[in-house]
Amino acid sequence: MRWPSALTAVLGLAAGATLVALLPEHALFTAPAAPASTVGSAPGERWACPMMDFIGAKAGACPVCGMAMTKVTAGELSLEQQRRMGLTLSTVTTGPATATIHAYGAVRYDDRTLQVVLPRLAGRVLKRYPAALHPGTVVAAGDPVVDLYSPELFAAQGELAAAVKLADTHAVHALTDRFTRWNLPALAAAVLAGAAPTDTVTITTPFAGLVVLGLEGEGMAAAKLPTVGQEVMPDTPLLRLVAPRTFMVVVHVPEARAHWLRVGQSVQLSSDDRGPLPDVAAAITWVSPELSAEIRAREVHLHLSDPNSRLLVGSLVHARFQAALDADLLAADTPAQVTLVPKSAVLSTGVRHVAWRVSGKKDDGRLAFALAPLALGPRLESATGHDLYIVRAGLNPGDEVATQGAFLIDSQAQLAGTPSLLFPLGATAPAPAHQH
């Protein structure tokens, strides 16, 4: 009888499992030794292959490609290395804690100056004057708007003429008051002087201003200019006027800088097509007491005067605020003096920030660098447009730091296993043994 092959396989698996279960743990799992390339290496010194991704602990040929390995020493650069890296240094300075805040918004009409021309009686439009033809027309007080046909007006003049003829003083006074409420005292005076009644009156504007239709956010964007033949009721808006060359801009300031703004603070404006606008006077007139949960920003209203007609409604403008901060980085009237470092000198993971400070200079031009962990404040902007960080700890005024080339210095420290941006304690310790 032939032995089944399947039975052989099952018996083999069972025997193997029994053997593994009976063996001691140290026979199966051992802690791996540190790589031969790093055993006994001195801190801050490694040898790297210029061709392959191999780092060793001593000089010699690369075991992968056979090329001679070169020494990697962290925190020290020769003149030739400085030249190849394009190394540049900057000096840590002190300066005023003046934060620059940037925001953008579109120009709109200043709705604070809105005035509405209303007829006080009903009628039908017979004629339109230039003030009622086009938005953007500038009108003066007393300019005609429309001719209005009004039977009610004609009847009131007839009543006034009859009251005068009957010497009814009480009726004359009451009817004269009615014409005054209609803003037509001149018409009553004409009737009292003996003029014949008329059924048509010219409605004029009591205000000067610029004719507009829609005001963003004002709730009357559907307004229209009057048309010939249109029937109007008492107090129906005929025109809406705003002060010419006065505008407002709504901007949103990010949450991190929203507490640095104050009402009355001046603003510098510029636009893409006009460039800087130094002649446009603008200031903050309102700061929202709330923060928008959707965009994490605070709404700010700017009001401005544009006497030289450089802006149009709808123009996109860039608003630039200067906020003075005290020593606690809160809004103040006078900025405090703080320690400043160029942004290009700071390496950051988003949580940890470091810079490479010059710790020594040799006679042959070599530079030694030391890692400086930083505690930073907000980012500022210098007068020349360069970004700076407020340094709260880690550097002192007068220290020299690497700007261009700082990342390469940090990479060199990582290769050598010394402290760096990503490895605060260095990377010389061997990996932990596998545990079970």
Residue 22's pLDDT is what? Answer: 56
φ/ψ bin of 226: left (φ > 0), alpha (ψ from -120 to 50), beta (otherwise): beta
123 and 160 share one domain: yes
251 and 338 share one domain: no
In a domain? residue 26: no
Radius of gyration (Cα) for the chain, nearest Å? 41
Of 117, 24, 21, 37, the residue nearest 69 (C-alpha): 37
Express the helix, strand and coil content of the chain in percent, nearest 5 each. Answer: 20, 35, 45
Query: Are the CB atoms for 210 and 274 separated by under 8 Å?
Result: no
CA distance 336 to 326: 5
In a domain? residue 16: no
CATH number at residue 362: 2.40.420.20
Query: Are the CB atoms for 299 and 292 separated by under 8 Å?
Result: yes
284 and 179 share one domain: no
Residue 40's pLDDT is what? Answer: 44
pTM of this structure = 0.69
CA distance 335 to 322: 10
Long-range contacts of 24-27 (CB under 8 A, 24+ apart): 25/436
CA torsion 417-421-424-430 (nearest 10°) is -30
238 and 144 share one domain: yes
294 and 340 share one domain: no
**Backbone phi and psi for residue 161, each to the nearest 5 degrees, phi listed first:** -65, -40
In a domain? residue 430: no
In a domain? residue 171: yes
CA distance 372 to 357: 6
Q: What's the domain count of the chain?
A: 4
Query: Are the CB atoms for 317 and 268 separated by under 8 Å?
Result: no
Extract the tokens encoding 371.
């890692």
Q: Examine the fold and report which residue of 215, 242, 269 is the final residue of a domain before the chain moves on.
A: 242
Residue 394's pLDDT is what? Answer: 95
DSSP 61: B
In a domain? residue 339: yes
186 and 123 share one domain: yes
In a domain? residue 29: no
Query: Are the CB atoms for 112 and 303 separated by under 8 Å?
Result: yes
Extract the tokens encoding 344.
């290009």
- In angstroms, what CA-CA distances link 257 with 75, 103, 338, 406? 37, 11, 18, 29
Q: Examine the fold and report which residue of 192, 221, 242 is the final residue of a domain before the chain moves on.
A: 242
225 and 122 share one domain: yes
Residue 232's pLDDT is what? Answer: 93
Q: Which residue has the tokens 């900057």?
A: 90
In a domain? residue 392: yes
CATH number at residue 273: 2.40.30.170
284 and 230 share one domain: no
138 and 238 share one domain: yes
Helix (H, G, I), strand (E, B) or coil at 157: helix
CATH number at residue 202: 2.40.50.100
User: Could you give the strand order of the β-sheet that contains 144-149, starting from the edge strand earlier in sequence?
Assistant: 200-204, 144-149, 123-128, 231-232
In a domain? residue 433: no
63 and 86 share one domain: no
Q: Examine the fold and report which residue of 306, 324, 342 is the final residue of a domain before the chain moves on.
A: 324
Residue 50's pLDDT is what? Answer: 72
Burial 22-49 (b: 16+ CB within 10 A, else e): eeeeeeeeeeeeeeeebeebeebebbbb
CA 260 to chain centre: 13
132 and 45 share one domain: no
Note down the domain range covering 154: 118-242
Tell how many helices (H) and how many strands (E) occur in the chain.
Answer: 7, 27
Residues of the chain with pLDDT below 50 are: 27-41, 220, 429-436
265 and 356 share one domain: no
Q: pLDDT tens digits, residue range 245-295? A: 999 999 999 998 999 999 999 999 999 888 999 999 999 999 999 999 999
